[in-house]
Structures are given as structure tokens and as C-alpha cells.
Amino acid sequence: MPQQLPLDELTLALARINGLLLTEEKVDRAVQLLAEGIRDAFPGSSGAGVSLLDEHGNRTSTGATDPVVLEADEAQYELGQGPCLTAWATERTVLMHDVATDDRWPLWSQAVRDLSIRSVISAPLMAGTRCLGALKIYSTQPGAYDAATARPLEKLVVPAATLLANIQSSEAPKRFTQVLTSALLSRDTINRAQGFLMHRHGLDQGAALQRLLELSKTSRQSLFSVSTDILTETKSGPDDG
């Protein structure tokens, strides 16, 4: 069961953030302090980070406290699904009690099955009516977070979002719409390539995704690029290998 939250670490982190002059050069440091404070404030958490849009309108992970956070985020961005993206898009906190049994984002759950992630909570970074991104916390244990975790987390991300809003471009909402459109295209392409592999090689959904992940890793290309190549090759005749 989630424990009572000792928030001293987070209070200190927020105080240090408030002490920074939030210029473009220092925003990464501010987000790093926030992520570390959030992770330390919630017992049982193994990693935390923030998803934002960069100056090019691309989703990016900032302040990640652990490489696992970056890997899990990258899988969400490539697949266009996952708890953090859902929190961002719906502007609502998302709880995932157990990655092994939750079926809301099957492609993402499959992609992170070998990572040390079992439960997730992600809260949108709301600055007024604007959603700048989302903050997420991971745990290696199932059931690490519940509604009692969500309430203080939602209160704590408000001042953080307000600070970040000061250095966010006014183009962010339009960029996010463009990014979501791109994500939907990417997910559709990956799904189509997965379906092709299932039909061609008699694979189930999980095995087909694993094949795509292996091709992505060995070729050092994104899942979208690998999937596009497979679909292009099917039109000209050669097998995907």
C-alpha cells in the first residue's frame, strides 16, 4: 500500500526552483530539481521525469532521474500511446497499478516489459487552461500509487507548471496539436506493419511487436521508420526478412 508522503524533500526542491531565474539556460536544471524532489517525496518511487515540447515542437523528456525513464518515454513517443501521453492529452491524472496486467496501452506495456517498471502515476502540467506536458513517476513495485498519491501530486505540479509556463512558447498549443497528429500517423503505421508480420509469419500480436522492436534495435532506426520500410517493401514485393 502507498505510504504517507514525507514532503520535506519536495518542499526543498520547490524552494530551490523558486530561487532560480528561469532563463532558457536554467530551465533544464529547474525541471531536474523538480523531478528529483517528486521522486524522493513519494515512497517507493524509482524514477521520475517530465515530458514537454522542445523548440521544434517535438516531445522530449526532461529532468529524467533514471535511464529507465528515458527508455519508457521514448517507447511512448514512438508508439503514440502510454500513461504519460494520456495524462497530457486528457489533462487528467493517470494511474497504472501494474504494467503486467493493465491492458489500456498494450503496445507500450509490451515494449517496456523488460524494464524495471511495474506501476506508474502521471499528472498533467496545467498552467491555467494550458497543458504544458506531464510529469510521471515510476516504481519497481506494483500498486505503489493510488488516489491518495494523486491528490498531493496534482497540487504539487501546479506551481511547477506555472514556473515552466514562463519559458514556454506561445506556439506550444499549436505545436502539440501537430505532434498529436504525427503520433496518430506513427501509431497507425506501426499497427499496419505489425498486422503484416502477423499475417505473413503467423505471429501473434506480442510476437509481431517484438519482431519490430528487434528490427528497430538492430537497424538503429525508430519503430516508425522500420514499420514504414516494411510497408514500402510489401508494395514492391521483397520480404521484410
Question: Could you count the other beta carbons within 10 Å of the beta carbon of residue 24?
Answer: 8
Alpha-carbon distance 39 to 135, whole Å? 11
Say if residues 187 and 68 touch (Cβ distance below 8 Å): no
Residues 199-225 pLDDT 10s:
888 988 888 888 888 888 788 788 788
- Domains defined for the chain, CATH in brackets: 8-168 (3.30.450.40), 174-235 (1.10.10.10)
Residues 127-156 pLDDT 10s:
888 888 899 999 999 999 999 999 988 888
Alpha-carbon distance 29 to 160, whole Å? 13
Mean pLDDT of 195-200: 90
Residues 40-93 pLDDT 10s:
889 899 999 998 866 555 678 888 999 999 999 999 998 989 999 999 999 999
